[in-house]
Each structure stands twice: as C-alpha cells, then as structure tokens.
Amino acid sequence: MKMWEINQLSRADIEQQLEDLMEEHQNLRFQHATKQLDNPLRLRSVRRDIARIQTVLREMDLKIRPEKASGNN
C-alpha cells in the first residue's frame, strides 16, 4: 500500500485496513513457521504497510495530519 492510497482514506477506513493487515501478518507468520509460505517478501511488505498506517494514525492523533471526513473523496 502506497502513501497516496493511505492519504485518500478516512480514519475509519485506515483503522480497518490496519486490522486487516495485522490479521494477514499473523497468518503469514503461521505459514512461515510451518514452511508453507510461498512469497517470503510479502511478510516484509505487510510489516512495512502496518508501520506506514501506524505512522499516519499517530500523526492524526498529534494533529500533524488532517483527518478526512469520509473515504468517498
């Protein structure tokens, strides 16, 4: 997920995306532990996406980044 994609989302959509990515990260970790992971680079990209989203949410909390009213813009 790129930053321009995150910037177009509302806070609720960003939080939902974070929840989905956390679940995907957990599933990828289980697949990695059982040697069933097809693409190990996906694990790194999901971790980085989680970090990007957490950064945006923190910036919103600190009022550094404005919040969007809805994701339909």
Separation of first and last alpha carbons in the chain: 18
Q: The pTM is what?
A: 0.87
2-42: pLDDT as tens digits: 999 999 999 999 999 999 999 999 999 999 999 999 999 99
**For residue 67, what pLDDT band results from cuts at 50, 70 and 90?**
confident
Question: How far is residue 25's CA from residue 4's CA, in Å, rounded to a whole number?
Answer: 22
Question: How far is residue 43's CA from residue 28's CA, in Å, rounded to a whole number?
Answer: 6
pLDDT: which is higher, 1 or 51 = 51
Question: How far is residue 35's CA from residue 37's CA, in Å, rounded to a whole number?
Answer: 6
Question: How far is residue 55's CA from residue 34's CA, in Å, rounded to a whole number?
Answer: 31
1.10.490, 3.40.630, 1.10.287, 1.10.3470: CATH of 3-61: 1.10.287
What is the residue extent of each domain of the chain? 3-61
